Structure 1
Amino acid sequence: MEPTQNHFSLTTQLAKWQQTMAHGSLTSDDLTELTDHLTEEISSLQKAGLNDEEAWMVARQRIGQPVVIEAEFRKVNPDHLANRNLVMMFWGAIFFMTLQIVCFALPSIINSFFRPLDSRGFPSNLLSATDVRNMLYAEIAIIAVFVLAVVFKGNRIVAWFSEMIEKYYFVCCLLLLVASPFLISFNDMMVLNHLIHGMRSVYSPEIQTAGGVLSFVIYIPLIAFTVFYTLRYRSQDIRNIASFAGSINWQASLMLGILFKLVSLSTYSFFPVSILNTILPTIIFFFAGWLMGRSKRPWVNTLILHSPSLVLLPLALLPNSVGFGDMFNFLCKFVLPSAIGCTSSILLYRKTQLA
């Protein structure tokens, strides 16, 4: 019986080489350029009469060993590997927030449609044994689907997500900012329920404020860091806040506007009777003005920064019962603090530059 010979596959070897190099300090653009150079070298060797295996060995030797290439690119991209780990860590936290909603909040919301109504016409807060059992079954089914997906399709899911971050990072960040109010609201709801049951008390403004502070301190910085490190991962010029400010364009201005407006809405929702909902947006947009003032087109970027406020402006025309009514209140709480803080910061920065 003749021994089975292993046939050399150039495509397989090239894919393995790309996978090895992708885990180092090479960016996606660096890897694409290096791969093109390697394939061109292989093609020229094949035209010279070498077979696939010989051409692969010679071309790889000419282009350099992966260890040597990694050492050279680590000098050019010293923060790339650490930044990629940070991106995955922060997006993992966002995914965990989403998973909490899917596993715990969603079954409760679905189950609320089948509860009997109380005297006010709302679903009763009292859960029967059947309600609890149905919620547990739903949570078990969701977790089982998640575990099976990780076990059988985990590598493919990670590869797909990495490709999405590489190619469509702006869309991913924008979707995160748009979805962040829902993520924060549902997670905040679970925190409030925990506080209520933990203290064996009823819902009160004090508990709302406590849950609001937790959401403000934890979730909003988490979303902000996720967006920042994703942008930093795709642009090696962004090493710190100052360099980020210098590279701000209309896309970054739009995302910053949504993020800072989310913070303003959060302060208004969590601290409805506090002066904090006026002071904090002013301070936040003063920092935004500091960023815009260092960009290449400060006034255009500032206008785009305030575009979310202009989009929300029609909400002020709604009746007060909806929760966003009262034009004067809307202007005082949302528009004026952001405009004053941002404009004063830009003017102050420009004045110091001229001096």
Structure 2
Amino acid sequence: MDTAFSYLDRQIEGWKLSLSKTSISKDDQDELKGHLDDVINELSANGLPDDEVWLLAMKRIGSIDLIEAEFSKVTPDISFRKNCILLVCGASAFMFIQFIFILLPAYLIRQQSKQLINNVSGSTDWVTLFTGLALSILILAILLGLIGKRMVFRTKFLIRRFKVGFAFLVITVLLSSAFLTIQLIDLQGWNIPGEIKTSFKTLSIFFYMAIMIAIVYVVCLVDKIDLRTIQAFNRRINWKTALLIGILAGLAVTLGYTYHVSYLPAIIGCPLFAVIGWMISFSQKHIINLFTAQFYLMALWFSGILGEYASIFHFYYFTVLSFLIIGYIFGRSRLAMSHPMNI
């Protein structure tokens, strides 16, 4: 009896493991696993042998390939979602490796070169540092060859569980990479016209902002937020989505300070946050979402991270915040007019 039970238990665990490797969403997988357990318990209660229980259960539920095919019919973009998530995760890993092994060492070398030019003492054993980085890359390549499948599976699990934390980590790395890239092109002694430097800075900002938007997009996919229509997306906004959207819009406002254009932060931020306020007005927990959407700007306001420009930023913070509230009030009023009994 123990052997038969062990056989059935192994079959169930193998089936669940195979299911976890499909493109079916986590919630749907949990529902299917629960359905399988119910069928197994029902058949076992009839006194059937365990091998017969398993065969009947598979006839009722179907094979893994058949289940995935049926879910693909219901959700035709399921393959796209899976491929998009893998693509952005791979790009994020590449950007992280580039930041650690290329951009950061290059920036440190530039800083030390400045110190030597200014007769400021400073020395670093760059041979030892680069040798250590090269060995790290070699070890990483060996680990990928030996336990790469396990590492990918574990990383996938962590991203699903801590998707917002993953997004924050990647955005932090991207911001750091953007800062170092812009700093590296602005070398002292290089005869580069200011217009070219400004154009390169703009190109870098658009490049990294596009990747950040892709990260937020993937987090929405992992969180199973419907992105096919703007109305469906607005209704599914939660505090995590509102926070990430607010950070992206807040970064656009912050980057406006790097250009010598009057009122550029307000020109960028006011329409962006007005739209965000309108979008949040359709969500369920709209008050919480409204607060988290402006949390990034509020954090900058409290921290005084802009130093001597803090007073100016305070003005822009309240200006942008007012447009966020105006967009929210406009959306709620339109919603009240269309559904007066549901508000």
Instruction: Identify if the C-alpha distance between structure 1 residues 239 and 347 changes in structure 2 by more than 3 Å, giving closer, same or farther.
Output: same
Q: Tell me how many residue pairs correspond in the alignment.
A: 332
Q: CA deviation at 1:251?
A: 2.9
Is the CA contact (8 Å cut-off) linking 2:107 and 2:184 kept in structure 1? no
Instruction: Identify if the C-alpha distance between structure 1 residues 236 and 60 changes in structure 2 by more than 3 Å, giving closer, same or farther.
Output: farther
Distance 2:32 2:307 in 1: 54
Q: CA deviation at 1:50?
A: 4.5
Q: CA deviation at 1:342?
A: 2.1
Is the CA contact (8 Å cut-off) linking 1:169 and 1:231 kept in structure 2? no
Distance 2:317 2:198 in 1: 20
Distance 1:11 1:123 in 2: 67
Hey, what does 1:217 align to over in structure 2?
206
Q: CA deviation at 1:134?
A: 4.2
1:158-192: per-residue Cα shift (whole Å, max 9, x none)?
Answer: 1112212333323333x33xx62453233442365
Does 37-46 or 111-120 show the bigger shift? 111-120
1:187-221: per-residue Cα shift (whole Å, max 9, x none)?
Answer: 44236536869xx9257754552343123211122
1:53-84: per-residue Cα shift (whole Å, max 9, x none)?
Answer: 33322221222233432232223333233212
Hey, what does 1:331 align to over in structure 2?
314
Structure 1 portions without partners, runs of 5+: 1-7
Distance 2:176 2:274 in 1: 26
Q: CA deviation at 1:99?
A: 0.7
Q: What code does the residue aligned with 2:40 have?
A: I
Hey, what does 1:92 align to over in structure 2?
90
Q: CA deviation at 1:297?
A: 4.7
Hey, what does 1:189 align to over in structure 2?
180
Does 248-257 or 113-122 show the bigger shift? 113-122
**Percent identity of equivalent pairs:** 23
Is the CA contact (8 Å cut-off) linking 1:289 and 1:344 kept in structure 2? yes
Q: What code does the residue aligned with 2:69 have?
A: A
Is the CA contact (8 Å cut-off) linking 1:26 and 1:70 kept in structure 2? yes
2:293 to 301, 305, 320: 305
Hey, what does 1:342 align to over in structure 2?
324
Hey, what does 2:266 align to over in structure 1?
278
Matches within 5 A, 1:174-323: 175-176=168-169, 180-190=171-181, 193=184, 201-202=190-191, 205-206=194-195, 208-235=197-224, 237-269=226-258, 271-273=259-261, 275-316=263-304, 323=306
Hey, what does 2:3 align to over in structure 1?
none
Instruction: Identify if the C-alpha distance between structure 1 residues 245 and 333 changes in structure 2 by more than 3 Å, giving closer, same or farther.
Output: same
Instruction: Identify if the C-alpha distance between structure 1 residues 123 and 55 changes in structure 2 by more than 3 Å, giving closer, same or farther.
Output: farther
Distance 2:115 2:102 in 1: 22
Distance 1:275 1:299 in 2: 29
Residue 158 (str. 1) matches residue 152 (str. 2) = yes
Instruction: Identify if the C-alpha distance between structure 1 residues 335 and 141 changes in structure 2 by more than 3 Å, giving closer, same or farther.
Output: farther
Distance 2:221 2:229 in 1: 9
Hey, what does 1:3 align to over in structure 2?
none
1:141 to 131, 135, 139: 135
Structure 2 portions without partners, runs of 5+: 1-5, 339-343
Q: CA deviation at 1:284?
A: 1.8
Q: CA deviation at 1:101?
A: 0.9
Is the CA contact (8 Å cut-off) linking 1:324 and 1:330 kept in structure 2? no
Distance 2:190 2:285 in 1: 53
Is the CA contact (8 Å cut-off) linking 1:108 and 1:135 kept in structure 2? no
1:229-284: per-residue Cα shift (whole Å, max 9, x none)?
Answer: 22233225443333121122333222322222122112223x24454333112232
Distance 2:272 2:112 in 1: 43
Hey, what does 1:103 align to over in structure 2?
101
Q: CA deviation at 1:43?
A: 4.2
Q: What code does the residue aligned with 1:344 have?
A: I
Instruction: Identify if the C-alpha distance between structure 1 residues 29 and 299 changes in structure 2 by more than 3 Å, giving closer, same or farther.
Output: closer
Instruction: Identify if the C-alpha distance between structure 1 residues 295 and 78 changes in structure 2 by more than 3 Å, giving closer, same or farther.
Output: same
Distance 1:121 1:259 in 2: 41
Q: CA deviation at 1:100?
A: 0.3
TM-score (norm 2): 0.80
Instruction: Identify if the C-alpha distance between structure 1 residues 152 and 259 changes in structure 2 by more than 3 Å, giving closer, same or farther.
Output: same
Distance 1:240 1:47 in 2: 47
The CA RMSD over aligned residues, in Å, is 3.5
